[in-house]
Amino acid sequence: MAYKRSASLKVVNCEAGKPAWLDRIHKGHCVSQMAALPENSVDVIFADPPYNLQLGGDLHRPDQSKVDAVDDHWDQFESFQAYDAFTRAWLLAARRVLKPNGTIWVIGSYHNIFRVGAMMQDLGFWMLNDVVWRKTNPMPNFRGRRFQNAHETMIWASRDANAKGYTFNYDAMKSANDDVQMRSDWLFPICSGGERLKDAEGRKTHPTQKPEALLARVLLSSTKPGDVVLDPFFGTGTTGAVAKRLGRHYVGIEREDVYIEAAEARIAAVEALDPTVLKVSAGKRAEPRIPFASLLEAGLVQPGTELTDAKRRWTARVRADGTIAIGEDAASIHRIGAKVQGLDACNGWTFWHIDSKKGLTPIDTLRQTMRDQMAVAAV
């Protein structure tokens, strides 16, 4: 029998008509626990499934310290096939409990998100957006063999292809984003500091705790106060804590007792905000970093151009890859600037100039030009 949303459910403080499965953590496997919930009963699902990382040996930092990798048993799968079967099972169970106008968020990395996304499409979910979480402080690539893996991907999808009535708080998102549409790339720090749950010995309670700011934007964009939010991989309960704070109901599913206990204590300490103050604020972003290579890519500087310092003591030649060279000696604008002066450091942006009929122009001027162009383009 399907659970019908009652009016009382919308009122957070009315406990009388509230189902027993609401605002609590269900211990067990996500598939069986979701199967025990009434169908068509959940407004939004946020899922942070295992990423199926396939790590080789140990990885050490340049200072020889060992990287604390995610090697937990729950992230181990025998094959892509096994992972696909698991993904299919929990997505089907999730789809059953979702209301017809419900939506689902799934977060992942390049290890798993493509398989999850394809499976979602196969099962009939309809993609609304893929949203990129850009990390302000990602872990570096220690061996210098790849780009720094600086983001994770979230898929936001509706239950059905032609769903029209799903919740998207367009105006709230726009207002929160300096009155321009909220984009599909979000910038947040990773979860650390006081927000990160730790045990008595100071070790992190959960290896992949997500930042509350990320969950807050998810819930503020796609739920209304009083909505029911389900997280089938609850972990230490970030989804529940944010949902409670924002006046939404939560349903958590988790297998590990350690995580459940930590989540319950955490959520109990959360105070729900007064509905009238549930507004998002967004600070001014810092000036975007412009790689010197971008000036070449934008055509503001040509490969082969000669750069010189303000007193024309040294000249260097711009190379196509964004380095500059004096003779065979090539490096960044900063390194070469430091080297010719015999210093440890140098701001290449202000040190190097381009010679033209109008005299010497610091390349920093070109950087500002580029920023202006980007700002105009963004409007």
Residues 24 to 63: which contact DNA by CB under 7 A? Answer: 48-63
Bridge pairing between strands 315-318 and 306-308:
antiparallel
State how far the Cα of 40 lies from the Cα of 320, in Å rounded to an integer.
57
How far is the CA of 23 from the CAs of 19, 117, 228, 267, 338, in angstroms?
A: 9, 28, 9, 10, 59
Minimum distance from CB of 56 to DNA (Å)? 4
**Of a second copy, DNA, none, which one does residue 51 interact with (CB within 5 to 8 Å by kind)?**
DNA
Minimum distance from CB of 263 to DNA (Å)? 15
**Of a second copy, DNA, none, which one does residue 59 interact with (CB within 5 to 8 Å by kind)?**
DNA
**Of DNA, a second copy, none, which one does residue 257 interact with (CB within 5 to 8 Å by kind)?**
none
Q: Which residues contact 35 (CB under 8 A, 6 or more apart)?
A: 93, 96
Bridge pairing between strands 151-158 and 126-135:
antiparallel
Minimum distance from CB of 4 to a second copy (Å)? 22
Name the residue nearer to DNA (CB basis): 132 or 331: 331
Question: Considering only CA atoms, which of 360, 291, 347 is closest in space to residue 323?
Answer: 291
**Of DNA, a second copy, none, which one does residue 115 interact with (CB within 5 to 8 Å by kind)?**
a second copy
Minimum distance from CB of 275 to DNA (Å)? 23
**Of a second copy, DNA, none, which one does residue 57 interact with (CB within 5 to 8 Å by kind)?**
DNA
Minimum distance from CB of 8 to a second copy (Å)? 23
Q: x/- site string to DNA, residues 333 to 352, per CB under 7 A?
A: xxx---------xxxxxx--
Contact yes or no for 121/58 (Cβ under 8 A): no
Contact yes or no for 338/350 (Cβ under 8 A): no
**Of a second copy, DNA, none, which one does residue 139 interact with (CB within 5 to 8 Å by kind)?**
DNA
Binding flag, residue 191, DNA (CB under 7 A): yes
Q: Which stretch binds DNA (CB under 7 A): 36-44, 190-198, 237-245, 248-256?
A: 190-198
Name the residue nearer to DNA (CB basis): 32 or 74: 74
Name the residue nearer to a second copy (CB basis): 212 or 355: 212
> What dihedral do alpha carbons 238, 240, 241, 242 form, nearest 10°?
80
Name the residue nearer to a second copy (CB basis): 52 or 260: 52
| Backbone phi and psi for residue 291, each to the nearest 5 degrees, phi listed first | -65, 145
Q: Could you give the 3-state DSSP secondary structure of residue 253? A: strand
N-term to C-term CA, the chain: 50
Minimum distance from CB of 356 to a second copy (Å)? 19
State how far the Cα of 68 lies from the Cα of 76, in Å rounded to an integer.
16
Question: DSSP character for 178?
Answer: T
**Of DNA, a second copy, none, which one does residue 321 interact with (CB within 5 to 8 Å by kind)?**
a second copy
Contact yes or no for 98/42 (Cβ under 8 A): yes
Minimum distance from CB of 331 to a second copy (Å)? 5
**Of DNA, a second copy, none, which one does residue 117 interact with (CB within 5 to 8 Å by kind)?**
a second copy
For DNA, the binding residues in 60-99 under the rule CB under 7 A are 60-65, 67-70, 75
- Interior CA angle at 335 toward 330 and 336, to 5°? 55
Which one among 2, 193, 328, 376 touches DNA, defined by CB under 7 A? 193
For DNA, the binding residues in 246-285 under the rule CB under 7 A are 283-285
146-151 long-range contacts, CB within 8 A, separation 24+: 149/109, 149/110
Which one among 137, 276, 281, 356 touches DNA, defined by CB under 7 A? 137
Name the residue nearer to DNA (CB basis): 17 or 140: 140
Binding flag, residue 302, DNA (CB under 7 A): no
Minimum distance from CB of 74 to a second copy (Å)? 10
Q: What is the 3-state secondary structure (H, E, C) of 297-329?
A: HCCCCCCCCEEECCCCCCEEEECCCCCEEECCE
Name the residue nearer to DNA (CB basis): 170 or 361: 170
